[in-house]
Chains A and B, each alone.
Chain A
């Protein structure tokens, strides 16, 4: 499949859906407080841009901080796990516990316990995003060529040399797979935590705008906020994919 088709086909689908959406809303004269037309949404996006952009920035900040925290903590935990089977056996079940507990169920507690709202929301999003980083990095650090490990041992390589020259490079493909999943999860975690927190004031993310727009039956703004979240998610995912392609270009043929 050529690049033009890969880019062109989804754009074409989007145009068709938007045209259909617009046509149906106009044809059935659907009121704007039920389903706004794409034009209404676009208009709101421009009109409320200052408000929405501010909220987008807050949500992106939480997502970015959570992704950073999940990456740093997840990689450190993964290093710890591969150093000893005992440590992994003792701690891994709790990592799973963290993963299977719904964030909406623990977010209220975290928001009560952590005074700073930004820190509380970041913590929630980190909890959501960390698991794929831990599990993929552990998998990557373990999946080393046993022959190469023998070679390093034969040459009396230090633990540090084995980690730096063998385990780390071997783990990169799996790590980036985990990072791509984690970036989507960090955004979801940030939005869900904002929903639960429901804080007002100036420091409000897109989820709060959606809640408020819902209360005020300002459906075009709700759609506009939703659109921004989606676009942010897609851009994040694309950025991670690009990053991993750049770093992993030596491992695989870029397809």
Chain B
């Protein structure tokens, strides 16, 4: 976790055209290799902040410095957002197919990357399936494979597992930790689940209700990220700290 921050937000605020203030000015720096979680109640502006990080939305005031090119960045949405008419492999290949000019790789190279991305998320056998033939969890893994296929340095994830059942979610949490460790990824993860935040993160940013501001910036101590950690007293204590910070933000 050395080097300059991957993301550096200074006094970022966002007011929507309809007058709603989504974010009050906030400062945040994300260091390389960090797994940072934005935790807050629904509608607190965490998705807005993530969209600003991605360049999908612009702040009304403040500055954002991102030391990662847009090509080194991947975004995973709340839904899988797959093309329903295209196979799993074609969906995963999309970001490579959209590259233009010198960056565009040959079809064989693209297919090869797709194969590896699908292997990484355990879907190598489903390359030719259509999204509607897959379960919700599998569709989300396709979405993650699509994000990983460009070998990003920065991965932005907006409540990616929010619509899934607990068992699938825990399974995908573990997969994500494995991927983040082997890929040397910087991850900014949005969730409203306290337990997911403790389990996954190096650092949790607790946000207040709208207009969102940072209530607490809490580092997470984890001896290991596994089932034992989930039931340890340390896990419960840190979850309680996040809970208290969340309540504070509600006032």
Which of A's residues lie within 8 Å of B, judged by CB?
A: 145, 147-148, 150-158, 161, 165-166, 169, 172, 250-251, 253
Which of B's residues lie within 8 Å of A, judged by CB?
A: 54-56, 70, 73, 75, 77-79, 81-86, 94-95, 97-100, 130, 132
Contact of A157 among B75, B86, B98 (CB under 8 A): B98
Which 8 pairs between the two chains have the least Cβ-Cβ distance? A147-B81, A155-B98, A147-B77, A250-B85, A169-B85, A157-B98, A148-B81, A155-B95
Q: Is the interface of B mostly helix, strand, loop or mixed?
A: loop
What residue of chain A has the Cβ atom nearest to residue B133's Cβ?
A253
Residues of A within 8 A of B78 (CB): 147
Contact of A158 among B56, B79, B100 (CB under 8 A): B100
Is A156 in contact with B75, judged by CB distance below 8 angstroms? Answer: no
A233 and B82 CA atoms in complex are apart in Å by: 38
CB distance from A174 to the nearest CB of B (A): 13
Is A145 in contact with B98, judged by CB distance below 8 angstroms? Answer: no
A241 and B169 CA atoms in complex are apart in Å by: 41
A177 and B212 CA atoms in complex are apart in Å by: 45
Given contacts A147-B77, A151-B75, contact A156 B70 (CB under 8 A): yes
Residues of A within 8 A of B100 (CB): 158
Given contacts A155-B98, A158-B100, contact A251 B84 (CB under 8 A): yes
Residues of B within 8 A of A152 (CB): 98
Sampled A-B contacts (15; CB under 8 Å): A148-B82, A148-B83, A150-B77, A151-B75, A152-B98, A154-B55, A154-B56, A154-B75, A155-B95, A155-B98, A155-B99, A156-B98, A166-B83, A250-B84, A251-B85
Is B130 in contact with A250, judged by CB distance below 8 angstroms? Answer: yes
Residues of A within 8 A of B54 (CB): 154
Residues of A within 8 A of B99 (CB): 155
Residues of B within 8 A of A250 (CB): 84-86, 130
Q: Is the interface of A mostly helix, strand, loop or mixed?
A: helix
Given contacts A154-B70, A158-B100, A250-B130, contact A145 B81 (CB under 8 A): yes
Is B83 in contact with A150, judged by CB distance below 8 angstroms? Answer: no
Residues of A within 8 A of B132 (CB): 253
A147 and B77 CA atoms in complex are apart in Å by: 7
A74 and B191 CA atoms in complex are apart in Å by: 45
Is A153 in contact with B85, judged by CB distance below 8 angstroms? Answer: no
Given contacts A154-B54, A154-B55, A154-B56, contact A161 B98 (CB under 8 A): yes
A43 and B86 CA atoms in complex are apart in Å by: 53
A150 and B100 CA atoms in complex are apart in Å by: 18
Residues of A within 8 A of B85 (CB): 169, 172, 250-251
A145 and B78 CA atoms in complex are apart in Å by: 13
Residues of B within 8 A of A153 (CB): 56
A158 and B78 CA atoms in complex are apart in Å by: 24
CB distance from A165 to the nearest CB of B (A): 8
15 extra A-B contacts, CB within 8 A, seeds A154-B70, A169-B85: A147-B77, A147-B79, A147-B81, A148-B82, A148-B83, A150-B56, A151-B77, A154-B73, A155-B94, A155-B99, A156-B98, A250-B84, A250-B86, A250-B130, A251-B85
Residues of B within 8 A of A253 (CB): 132
A155 and B163 CA atoms in complex are apart in Å by: 25
Residues of B within 8 A of A158 (CB): 100
Residues of B within 8 A of A165 (CB): 94, 97-98
Most B CB within 10 A of own CB, among A152, A157, A172: A157
CB distance from B97 to the nearest CB of A (A): 8
A152 and B98 CA atoms in complex are apart in Å by: 8
What residue of chain B has the Cβ atom nearest to residue A156's Cβ?
B70
A145 and B83 CA atoms in complex are apart in Å by: 9
